[in-house]
Structure 1
Amino acid sequence: MKMSQKTIQQEEQERLNAALQDIEAQLRAIGPRYTGNDFTEQMLDLQREERKNRLEVARREPYFGRIDFQELTNDGKGDAGEPKPLYIGKAGVAKNGGNELLVIDWRAPAASMFYSFTGGDDPAGYASPDGEVSGYVHLKRNFMIRNGEIVRLVDSYVRGQEEGAVSDEFLLYRLGENKDNKLRDIVSTIQGEQDRIIRAERNKALFIQGVAGSGKTTVALHRLAFLLYQYEGRIRAERMIIFAPNRMFLDYISGVLPELGVGDIGQTTFADWALELLEHSVRLSDPSETMAYWFEEKRTKEEIEQSSGRWKGSLAFKDAIDRRLAELQGSIVPDTAFVPLDGFTLKPETMREWYETDYGEETVMVKRDRLASRIKRWLESELKHRGVADKKKRSAAMAKLNSYVKRIPAFTALQLYASLFKGKTALPDVPKSLAKATSERLGSGLAGAEDLAPLAYIQLKLYGLKVPPFDHIVIDEAQDYSPFQLETLRLCQRTPSMTVLGDLQQGIHAYAGIQSWNELMDLFPDGDTDFFELNRSYRSTMEIIDFANVILGGMTGGVKPAVPVFRSGDPVRTEPAAEDNWLQSVASTVTEWQASGSYDTISVIGRTARECEEIHRYLLSQGLESSLVQSKQLTYGGGLTVVPVYLSKGLEFDAVLIADAGSRNYETIDAKLLYVGCTRALHKLKLLYRGERTPLLEGWEG
């Protein structure tokens, strides 16, 4: 058997060498960039550059999989010849000088079998542009290729062997690898349930409830790459956008799309996007102050439910704004005639007809400005038509025009929003403390995070979107979005095309986010949404996932608990630490883990920023180089990291130490926080605690 495997690997290495030679020859033949002014040559140069980019992706790792497929004839009764090997990679490549495919793009219809085939002797198939293609899979083979060498080869299915199902050996091998400071693509190990999301219909809002470590973020990024391939020419990368929770998270995911050969997709946060839409007419108040308010001190359930974020993020508040906008719309057309000179009269009925008929679906302030311009053109036309040459008369007429137009209401988004909280125009049901705080903040030129959705919504309703609508929107950590935020983004598309993902069990920002996916899904008409659940966790070992599920207990909110893949590791440990040597316990654990050489990334997760600063200072004093993650941070550097638990969401580490899981830090209300911290660990998890252990672990023996 060993000899057979060696022969297989030798044959595959020879095939790989030939493929690399072919790719290198094609790259050499492309030549230098065109720098002239001929338009046709410029277009041809762009095509050559795109091809060059694909070939360079292929050169780094030509392919990662092979599937041998024997196609059946159209009647489904006879085969169409011998099984044909299909090599699957990140970029499709044809052989030099011909149309025969050297490598099939992972997004191509035929490649879908590599992900969807689960084993057995029954026919498999895929949907091609010419219809359904069916046949038999004879082999599914996984490769890991590095620097032109096959470093691992695994046959996960061979037709006729006793074990009929596809094995998880290659997946488990990849999951067991250590992580660095960037999220990586999963194109070689996409699972069937993930592939169904990636290849789902474009013109819908897809909602994905994915447990910690289910790969939901990576799946959403791969979906963008698939949509660009599948709908080439109909959607454009520069009209796609990813909304991430913070800039550090954007840095963390920044490598995935380039690895897949995709560029030009916008990546931002909702706050940055909204501020740009508002043309920076306001500044964002310090987000760290919000974090400190909710996480540095204990807060009650009542405080969360009555938070300004939940009030301003509600559809009830949106409805109140819609009523104010309708009032504004009704007041635009003057109810008195415009009489610039004796005998010159422009009736309100005429202006209303212009406003309602000629300007159609334009937004409120655009229609207002067009009406003002139309009134001016009417006056100029009348003066010319009636031969009014007297300069004094003309000047008087223009002065009356300016005075008349100024009386037509005009608002910026900021002015209209501020009017909702102050004086006679304030909304009647705004809590007094909220109205006062909002008015003072806006008066200082600042907006809170919860103000940005209503401000952006008003801006879009008043002035519209000044850039082309988005072809596709990805929203990550969407459980922390308010309905108002999503409704605002809905205005930026003609047809719903979104991937909205998150995990209700990680909804630590309950003061602003949702408690049920229906709060967001109900914004769309029936038939415009799909819902997917990813409850398999690929990040952590069985021991870590089982432990994390204990923390949540029965508090799942209708969400299925995480199910680990069969990857066993070290048991989770909890250890008491005396108050006077707690920091020594933290440092000794870190030292032990670093000395083992088993972990590339280690995180010490604290409850608050203050606790983390104390830990970080002590580690440095002991000669342990580490980085401290703070709320304003733009990048995550890997290595040894100290991070507050509320900033750790979305990140992952080889080993995690929860610095203090005592009852003072984690009460019952903090279950989601502790769950987030524990599920950052891939291979190793340990919890220290001062005083009594958190009551969240009462159901766990260990």
Structure 2
Amino acid sequence: MSTQPTQPTQPAPSAPSAPSASPDDDPLSRERAHLAASRAALRAMRADAESLDIRDVTANWVNAQVLERQIEERVKALADLGDTPLFFGRLDYQRAPGADRAEGAEGERFYIGRRHVHDADGDPMVIDWRAPVSQPFYRASKKDPMDIGLRRRFGYTGGDLTAYEDEHLSDPAEAASAGRLLQQEIERPRVGPMRDIVATIQPEQDEIVRSGLSGTVCVQGGPGTGKTAVGLHRVAYLLYAHRERLARTGTLVIGPNRSFLHYIEQVLPALGELAVAQATVDDLVAHVEVRGSDDARAAAVKGDARMAEVLRRALYAHVTPPTEPVVVVRGSRRWRVPAYELQEIVRELLERGIRYDAAREALPQRIAHAVLVQMERAGEAPDDRVQNAVARTGAVKAAVKEIWPAVDPARLVLRLLADPDFLATHAEGVLTDEEQKAILWARPARSVKSAPWSPADAVLIDEATDLIERTHSLGHVVLDEAQDLSPMQYRAVGRRCSTGSATVLGDLAQGTTPWATRDWREALAHLGKGDAVIEELTAGFRVPTDVIAYASRLLPHIAPGLAPVRSIRENPGFFEIRDAAGAADVVGACRELLGREGSVGLIAADARVPELARALAEAGIAHLGPGEETSRDTRLTLVPASLAKGLEYDYVVLDEPQAVVDGEPDERTGLRRLYVALTRAVSGLVVTHAAPLPPQLA
């Protein structure tokens, strides 16, 4: 392997010539020249898009607005981010990509970057990392070079190309190595929101990223294995490979909370994808204003998949079998549909299993059709207009209202939670008496608006809404931190991709809700994706060896079946356990870490956050809240333990581990919360405590 060093004090076999050498003799200068030319070409592409004149190519103002919006999105996607490398690698093929090995075709050279760039003649200067020709950059090896003679990685400082590193995959004399630049990029300090990992995707990650659109993939990954990044890059890849289809059906990224979504929101735009929506599960089911909460017992029962059957029973209890005939008057004739025939129509609609409102809309047409059959038997020749007119008659409307009344989903759930008799009738044999008591409101609400709806109640309303009217399905959904969802929440997400696919991301060891997932197969069944492929990532790229080894002491107590994450970082990391007499010692640890390069997170039990915030203010140390990490001037974030999941900081100060455990309803959940907090650091961890450490860490 040959390397052009970042520091002049680190000589390497491919060190460039003296600064006075001509660009033709200096490989690094040639690469810089290509970077400059590529940036100029990208600016020209953007200018071409901005100069498009659509005044004479659209038929009406609607088409003009649509096309104008598409052009605006194209212009945004072509933005040249000055501090982001335009390309990060190069592939020198031994023969033309796709050519038969026996042909011995002349090889080509491709620069791999975040987006496609071409020159004025249309020839590519940078190839999109998602293109098939780019795949060997991530998967080629000494064992299988995939027709690659040389793979070159580039090092940058800001947006300036400062180094390169070569792997001669076809040279048997050169030993395989992970590469210094690759390792530096993996271990690079992180400040601000989450970055893409497009330059460092590993072969096992790339296989998941490039998996097809038709199948659902579930990724089990421990801390620092890159599962979130893999999910986001898979969205970017699918939008590249199936852009027209997903443009019609839509994509969605679902995260556990707003702080998390804010943390990851720049990844896809950095890859040129601007149209992917982001939401939490609470956003998806926001049919009512949530201003109440449940205790753990009530939330667990409401989140149980059995509630779907209770709701179905309660809804279809509104259907009343007819006992009277329907008589339709048309002119001088009276047409009578007997009760037994109406009962048969209702029975057939129930057996079809279609949505409640779809059946309700079909019922008047079925009754009208029965009338038309009688008309035809009497020698008349009615058409569809006559059937529609019969369906709109007062007699048919009154019968439909009596047999199959309209139902409001929120009112249905309101009655279940407020009326013990109604709940008991429809939960019989499904929920126990104790479970029914757990979910009943102590004070019945008078209306939907005044009801003390909880997040779990909103999910029940969403289930009822889908029973009444089908939920719109998207083409692809990414569900992150999935291990914390209840079965009913899985069902809510599954409705959003019932005709599409999903990428499910999570870690069973990090489940911190009372209903946390214990088996992915069961969870995927609730999602409606029982045939999903489950992949496991075990190589840790972000968490240092000493830190993950310490946190893994908790695994036998929280997830006995999971293997510990294996850190592949060369830097063992900075790890200390310190006695702290009070908040001043915690603040001192933060001040010390702020003297290093990178971001700092102070993670503490939720109840201790106000005290630590006051101590930081008194010490004159500015800090942010989780999700606000966008300023390079303020590098310290004060993170409640309940919001730490999914976030990462270069250095972490973890305050009072036992307080984190005690802040949860039970010890198992508390230890899982502690496991999450311990694994947020990517360079170093300081654990401060006055109380004894949990015995599981001894």
TM-score range, shorter chain: 0.7 to 0.9
Is the 1:197–1:223 contact (alpha carbons within 8 Å) kept by the matching residues of 2? yes
Percent pairwise identity: 26
Aligned counterpart in structure 2 of residue 623 of structure 1, from 614, 620, 624: 620
Establish whether residue 117 from structure 1 lines up as the match of residue 153 from structure 2.
no
Distance 2:197 2:366 in 1: 57
- 2:218 counterpart SS class: strand
Q: Is the 8 A contact 2:641 2:660 kept in 1?
A: no
- Name the residue aligned to 1:604: 602
What amino acid does structure 2 have at the position aligned with 1:658? L
Give 1:63's aligned amino acid. Answer: F
1:200 corresponds in structure 2 to: 211
TM-score by length of 2: 0.82
Q: Which amino acid aligns with 1:229?
A: Y
CA contact (8 A) 2:538 2:565 kept: yes
What pairs up with 1:327-476 in 2 under 5 angstroms? 327-328=317-318, 331=319, 334-339=322-327, 343-348=334-339, 351=342, 362-372=354-364, 404-408=399-403, 409-421=405-417, 422-426=419-423, 427-428=427-428, 429-430=431-432, 431-437=435-441, 440=444, 444-465=450-471, 467=472, 469-476=473-480
Structure 1: distance between partners of 2:618 and 2:220: 43
Which digits, 9 at most, give the CA deviation of each residue in 1:275-304, with x for residues without a partner? Answer: 1xxxx3x21135xx66xx6xxxxxxxxxx6
Relative distance call for 1:405 and 1:585 in structure 2 (3 A) is same
Q: Does structure 1 retain, via aligned residues, the 8 Å contact 2:603–2:677?
A: yes
For 2:535, the equivalent position in structure 1 comes to: 532
1:224 Cα offset (Å): 0.8
CA distance in 2, matches of 1:650, 1:672: 14
CA-CA distance at 1:177 after TM superposition: 1.9
Where in structure 2 are the equivalents of 1:137-536 lying within 5 Å? 137-145=148-156, 149-160=160-171, 162-236=173-247, 239-275=250-286, 280=287, 282-286=288-292, 307-328=297-318, 331=319, 334-339=322-327, 343-348=334-339, 351=342, 362-372=354-364, 404-408=399-403, 409-421=405-417, 422-426=419-423, 427-428=427-428, 429-430=431-432, 431-437=435-441, 440=444, 444-465=450-471, 467=472, 469-509=473-513, 511-523=514-526, 528-536=531-539
Give a deviation string over 1:29-52, Cα, whole Å, max 9, x none: 445353636417958767765654
Which residue of the other structure, out of 15, 18, 32, is the alignment partner of 1:5?
A: 15
Matched, 1:90 2:93: no
Q: Distance in 1 between matches of 2:221 and 2:648?
A: 15
Q: CA 1:315/1:432 → structure 2, altered by over 3 Å: closer, same or farther?
A: closer
Paired residues for 1:685-700 under 5 Å? 685-698=685-698
Q: Is 1:242–1:268's contact at 8 Å kept on the other side of the alignment?
A: yes
Q: Quick one: distance in 1 between partners of 2:97 and 2:229? A: 37
TM-score of the pair, normalised by structure 1: 0.82
C-alpha contact 1:365 1:462 (8 A) present in aligned 2: yes
The match for 2:21 is none
The equivalent position to 1:62 in structure 2, one of 86, 110, 115, is 86
Task: Work out the CA distance in 2 between the residues paired with 1:58 and 1:156.
Answer: 28
1:477 Cα offset (Å): 0.7
1:567 matched to which residue of 2? 570
Question: Does the CA contact (< 8 Å) of 2:498 and 2:528 recur in 1?
Answer: no
The 3-state SS of whatever aligns with 2:307 is helix
The whole-number CA distance in structure 2 between the counterparts of 1:340 and 1:438 is 48
- Aligned partners of 1:461 and 1:32: how far apart in 2? 49
SS in 1 for 2:337: coil
| Contact 1:203/1:528, CA 8 A, preserved across alignment | no
- Alignment gaps of 5+ in structure 2: 1-10, 17-25, 381-391
Letter in 2 for 1:232: R
CA shift digits 1:459-489 (9 cap, x unpaired): 0111222x4x210111111001122222233
The superposition leaves residues 534-592 of structure 1 with CA deviations (integer Å, 9 ceiling, x where unpaired) of 111211211111111123345424222111113324442112223xxx11111211222
Distance 1:237 1:172, change over 3 A: farther
Q: Which residue of 2 aligns with 1:661?
A: 657
User: Which one is further off, 72-81 or 651-660?
Assistant: 72-81
Find the aligned partners of 2:446 and 2:290 in 1 and give their Cα distance: 10
> Aligned pair in 2 of structure 1 residues 209, 68: CA closer, same or farther (>3 Å)?
same
Match of residue 676 from structure 1 = 676
Alpha-carbon separation, structure 2, partners of 1:269 and 1:673: 20
Q: Secondary structure at the match of 1:284?
A: coil
Give me the whole-angstrom Cα distance separating, in 2, the residues matched to 1:526 and 1:692: 44
Q: Quick one: which amino acid aligns to residue 517 of structure 1?
A: W
Q: Which amino acid aligns with 2:113?
A: G
| Equivalent position amino acid for 2:617 in 1 | L
Hey, what's the Cα distance between the residues in 2 that align with 1:319 and 1:181? 45
Gaps of 5+ in 1: 125-135, 294-303, 386-396
Relative distance call for 1:46 and 1:619 in structure 2 (3 A) is closer
**Alignment deviations for residues 620-675 of structure 1 (CA, whole Å, 9 cap, x no partner):** 1121222355xxx8887662122221211111111111111347955953221111
Tell me the number of residue pairs that the alignment of Structure 1 and Structure 2 aligns. 640
Q: Contact between 1:612 and 1:628, CA under 8 Å: does it hold in 2?
A: no
Aligned match of 1:544 in 539, 543, 547? 547
SS in 2 for 1:64: strand
User: Per-residue deviation at 1:273?
Assistant: 1.0
Contact 1:57 1:261 (8 Å CA) reproduced: no
Please provide the CA RMSD for this pair: 3.6
Contact 1:70 1:137 in 2 (8 A): yes
Displacement of 1:215 = 1.2
2:40 alignment counterpart: 21
CA shift, 1:613, in A, is: 0.4
Selected match of 1:640 from 624, 633, 636: 636
Alpha-carbon distance in 2 for matches of 1:402, 1:588: 75
Is the contact made by 2:89 and 2:153 (CA closer than 8 Å) also made in structure 1? yes
Q: Distance in 2 between matches of 1:77 and 1:243?
A: 44
Contact 1:156/1:167 (8 A) holds in 2: no
- CA drift of 1:95 comes to 2.6
3-state SS of paired residue (1:235): helix
User: Which moves more between the two structures, 84-93 or 419-428?
Assistant: 419-428
